[in-house]
Amino acid sequence: MGAQNCLAPKGSAMLAIDVLPDRNIVVLTPDGPLTAADFARAAQAIDPLMAANGKLAGLMIHAPSFPGWRDFDAVKAHLTFVRDHQRRIDRLAVVTDSAFVKTMAGIAGAFVHPEVRQFGFGEKERALAWLETGQ
């Protein structure tokens, strides 16, 4: 799938951001094409945890399928977000049944700092336990 196929038409997008401060974990759940503003909001949620703890124990991407990006600005914001945050995240759990997302996570795992592990979409609790303990 080429990058242009991952872009979605303009429309409302939403990225649910669940901060679990007692676990030092953030869960990102996309529901529609990702926007540059989504990544700005994610940074606003994650940065205080990183400041308080020196790093983030875990980040979870919980997505039944790949929602795409609204436009090229969103793609750039995504890459900038990864560049600016990946060194201070211990573990990344990708919780999905999407073959595309699993493939992208596997490729990203070779290039980013966090340990990346994939889980089926129904394994959210197991993924949270791994993010906390690494086991």
**Is 1 inside any structural domain?**
no
Residues 13 and 30: their CA atoms lie apart, in Å, by 8
Report CA-CA distances (Å) from 109 to 16, 18, 52, 125, 131.
23, 23, 26, 21, 15
Closest-CA residue to 105 (of 89, 90, 120, 93): 93
Whether the per-residue pLDDT at 119 is higher than 50: the answer is: yes
**Is 21 inside any structural domain?**
yes
Question: What is the CATH number for 44?
Answer: 3.30.750.24
**Is 94 inside any structural domain?**
yes
Query: Considering its fold, how many domains does the chain have in total?
Result: 1
pTM assigned to the model: 0.85
Question: Domain containing 60: what range?
Answer: 11-133
**Is 2 inside any structural domain?**
no
- Looking at residues 113-122, what average pLDDT do you find? 90
Residues 50 and 118: their CA atoms lie apart, in Å, by 23
69-104 pLDDT tens trace? 999 999 999 999 999 999 999 999 999 988 777 777
